[in-house]
Amino acid sequence: MPSKPRSATAARRAVAPGLAGLAVALVLIGLALPRCLAAWNDHAGAAALWDLRAGKPGPDPAILAAAGESLVASARRPPRGEVLADGGYLLARAAENTADPARRAALSRAALVATERGLALAPANASAWARLAALRANVGDRDGAAAALRVSFLAGPVVPALTASRLDLALALLPALDGETRVLLDRQIRITWILEPARIARLAEDRRLGRLIGLALDGVSEEDLTLYRRAHPTP
């Protein structure tokens, strides 16, 4: 004998678990999708990033810009400060190698914004702070550049890859540096003397900088001398 049809209420009860499961699945997919997209975009920018960090010649500026934009897009959801900063780095390098002034300015602005957002999420990045200082200086924000440079010095006092560029930037921003940053600059001069004494010798020959260099080197400590001897052993 055929069974009686289930009531509408029973039918709804039977369907409800299926709908609930579907809803959970959709939520999980929605949560996972940004990570999938991030992984795809990270892959698009990773090759250019690794090549530059390995010291290889950068690709075409358009490729660098596209790679930087892909990293910035991938870092928005979920927010990832390190990736945003990396995207800013690629955009900044693209700007350096772009001939068109309007395009160069647009890329520099995008690099500045990405770097600022990245540092807001992941501030322990001396290289990104130094890059932010340079980007701010390029748009005429000397006080903002000096503030970013100070944080770079504090975040990584000894970063050989940054020694020359940070010192040059600090000297260019000298009138905008506050007292604390001047003290940090003196330390950077001594660090540069340990790592690249010839560079400091050249700077000391500049009449505008000779006194500054001399006063900084007056603070050379026994520890500094020991490090210098280790870096430049005599035959």
If DSSP states are collapsed to H, E and C, what string results for 70-115? HHHHHCCCCCCHHHHHHHHHHHHHHHHCCCCHHHHHHHHHHHHHHH
What is Dmax (Cα atoms) for the chain? 110
Interval 68-95: pLDDT, tens:
888 888 777 777 898 899 899 999 999 9
pLDDT of residue 5: 45
Buried b / exposed e over 34-70, threshold 16 CB at 10 Å, is eeeebeebbeebeebbeebeeeeebbebeebbbbbbb
Calculate what percentage of the chain has a pLDDT beyond 70: 75
Under DSSP, is residue 232 helix (H, G, I), strand (E, B) or coil?
coil
pTM of the complete model: 0.76
pLDDT of residue 80: 85
Q: What is the mean pLDDT of the chain?
A: 81
Reported as type and span, the H/E element at residue 40 is helix 8-53
Interval 153-212: pLDDT, tens:
999 999 998 999 999 999 999 999 999 999 999 999 999 999 999 999 999 999 999 999
Interval 102-113: pLDDT, tens:
999 999 999 999
Residues 6 or more apart in contact with residue 120 via CB below 8 angstroms: 81
Under DSSP, is residue 207 helix (H, G, I), strand (E, B) or coil?
coil
